[in-house]
Amino acid sequence: MPALAERLSEVSVSPIVAMSTRARALKAEGHQVISLAVGEPDFPTPPHAVEAAHQAALRGDTKYPAQDGSPALKKAIQAKFRRDNNLDYALDEICVCNGGKQVLMNALFATISPGDEVLIPTPYWASYGEMVKLASGKPVFVTCPQNNGFKLRPEDLDAAITPKTKMLMLNFPNNPTGAACTREEMQALAEVMLKHPHVWILTDDMYEHLVFDNFEFCTIAEVEPRLKGRVITVNGVSKTYAMTGWRLGFAGGPKALIKAMVNMQGQITSGVSTISQAAAIAALEGPQDMVAERAGIYRQRRDLVVEMLNQAPGITCARPEGAFYVYPNLAGCLGKTSPGGRRIDTDADFAMALLEEKLVATVQGSAYGMSPYLRISYATDTDSLREACTRIQDFCRALS
């Protein structure tokens, strides 16, 4: 067999895959597994978005799409940026991609040369570092400590920037912690970035509408307009409108960079499904009341999960500002043995023992660059969340 590409030696298989594979195997054996591992809304896609896709198909809107997105969708995105973020992007400063992940990959391929450094606040979504390596860059991880609410400190950001730094990736509200930056905190980060004009800023705002307790979301190009010319503002319809399977993300940014990103996309996938684009237009332009309603339900779930996890011996869980994740600390559970005889030395040990013995699927913090933690998604129904947290409490009480 001929050799595979050398670049694959730099890219790790996600630890999340191992947990998901084992959870599926247990389900196939007939076990009642409750999964808190998947970052996917459990709500349906809005009916008007589904109907718009249906009508698009019926009228024959099924041909090759424009590489950068249909004019109608780009206008809807333009209006969304104005409405939600106070950002003005011309239509040629907007591109549409096959999911948010492709937006990120296009941006990295368009900006990163071999050896360029990309700063990634930690904990981070597991794909960020691997994507940087695929683009021949070097991920540099900057710790966001729990005692700072899992948020990036300006002094740590400043200290991490070198002449080789090419990009800073921001993700607030954050996956996996749910942490979000206030306007003042974002302004402090912006002040640092104004000192380093050689660095691009990519901000992944997928969870912008999932914020609670009157928290006000902000994005860095809005907070500091002087940075807008080197910011890629990334968003999509997956989290806000429960449209993960429609695979549609988008970005606003400087014209030359957006053109380069579209060029990258043209060589890899070309344009986005016309049916998905029709659905996205309807979601962005249609009624927005359900967005706030669903955020309210997520808030109730967050409060339930945080309260129950803090009642589990050995676990402490912060109350995050947004997204649909919590990131509990497991330090008090390490060095113990599970009822099934498993030694719990790491968060990965805890997660696997919890899955095997209590049939609750989570993801260990090491998958996101910070241990000993778990990422728990509360994007599931309340009864399942309550049962899962009860099982976690029972598991922790039985550790010895």
Alpha-carbon distance of 111 to 231, in angstroms, equals 12
| 294 and 267, same domain (yes or no) | no
| 270 and 359, same domain (yes or no) | no
Alpha-carbon distance of 10 to 18, in angstroms, equals 18
End position of a domain, from candidates 251, 285, 319:
285
**CB atoms inside a 10 Å sphere around CB 97:** 30
Q: Is 202 inside any structural domain?
A: yes
End position of a domain, from candidates 285, 314, 335:
285
pLDDT tops 80 at residue 229: yes
**What residues make up the domain containing 141?**
61-285
**pLDDT, position 249:** 98
| 187 and 333, same domain (yes or no) | no
- Three-state DSSP string of the chain: CCCCCHHHHHCCCCHHHHHHHHHHHHHHCCCCCEECCCCCCCCCCCHHHHHHHHHHHHCCCCCCCCCCCCHHHHHHHHHHHHHHHCCCCCHHHEEEECCHHHHHHHHHHHHCCCCCEEEEEECCCCHHHHHHHHCCCEEEEEECCHHHCCCCCHHHHHHHCCCCEEEEEECCCCCCCCCCCCHHHHHHHHHHHHCCCCCEEEEECCCCCCECCCCCCCCHHHHCHHHHHHEEEEEECCCCCCCHHHCCEEEECCHHHHHHHHHHHHHHCCCCCHHHHHHHHHHHHCCCHHHHHHHHHHHHHHHHHHHHHCCCCCCECCCCCECCEECCECHHHCCEECCCCCEECCHHHHHHHHHHHHCEECEEHHHHCCCCEEEEECCCCHHHHHHHHHHHHHHHHCCC
**pLDDT, position 124:** 98
pLDDT digits (tens, 9 = 90+) for 158-213: 999 999 999 999 999 999 999 999 999 999 999 999 999 999 999 999 999 999 99
| 164 and 301, same domain (yes or no) | no
**pLDDT, position 155:** 98
Mean predicted lDDT score pLDDT of the chain: 96
Nearest CA among 237, 270, 223, 205 for reference residue 68:
270
**Residue 310 Cα to chain centre, angstroms:** 24
Q: Is 55 inside any structural domain?
A: no
Alpha-carbon distance of 76 to 53, in angstroms, equals 15
End position of a domain, from candidates 285, 304, 335:
285
Burial class (CB in 10 A: 0-12, 13-18, 19+), 210: buried
The pLDDT > 70 percentage for the chain reads 100
| 242 and 354, same domain (yes or no) | no
**pLDDT, position 15:** 73
| 120 and 261, same domain (yes or no) | yes
Tokens of 127: 């794909």
Q: Is 145 inside any structural domain?
A: yes
| 279 and 298, same domain (yes or no) | no
Q: Is 71 inside any structural domain?
A: yes
pLDDT digits (tens, 9 = 90+) for 292-313: 999 999 999 999 999 999 999 9
Q: Is 51 inside any structural domain?
A: no
pLDDT digits (tens, 9 = 90+) for 257-293: 999 999 999 999 999 999 999 999 999 999 999 999 9
pLDDT tops 80 at residue 97: yes
Look-up of token digits 């948020």? 151
Alpha-carbon distance of 205 to 207, in angstroms, equals 6
**pLDDT, position 9:** 82
Overall residue count recorded for the chain in this entry: 400
| 309 and 326, same domain (yes or no) | yes
Nearest CA among 113, 235, 106 for reference residue 170:
235
pLDDT tops 90 at residue 8: no
Do residues 262 and 68 make contact, with C-beta atoms less than 8 angstroms apart?
yes
Count of domains observed in the chain = 2
The pLDDT > 90 percentage for the chain reads 93
Mean pLDDT of 130-134: 96
pLDDT tops 90 at residue 34: yes
Alpha-carbon distance of 89 to 330, in angstroms, equals 44
Mean pLDDT of 238-258: 98
Q: Is 53 inside any structural domain?
A: no
| 97 and 169, same domain (yes or no) | yes
pLDDT band at 22 (very low <50, low <70, confident <90, very high): confident
Q: Report the DSSP beta bridge partners of residue 94.
A: 252
Tell which phi-psi region holds residue 60, choosing left (phi > 0), alpha (psi between -120 and 50) or beta. Answer: left
CATH number at residue 257: 3.40.640.10
Q: Is 52 inside any structural domain?
A: no
Q: What are phi and psi of 218, to 5 degrees?
A: -145, 155
Tokens of 354: 């919890």
| 98 and 214, same domain (yes or no) | yes
**Residue 106 Cα to chain centre, angstroms:** 17
* Long-range contacts (CB closer than 8 Å, 24 or more residues apart) made by 338-347: 338/395, 338/398, 338/399, 339/395, 339/398, 339/399, 344/399, 346/371, 346/372, 347/371, 347/372, 347/373, 347/374
CATH number at residue 356: 3.90.1150.10
Mean pLDDT of 63-77: 97
**CB atoms inside a 10 Å sphere around CB 214:** 5
Look-up of token digits 């009508």? 55
Q: Is 49 inside any structural domain?
A: no
| 80 and 153, same domain (yes or no) | yes
**pLDDT, position 309:** 98
Tokens of 179: 């942490």
**pLDDT, position 14:** 75
| 79 and 131, same domain (yes or no) | yes
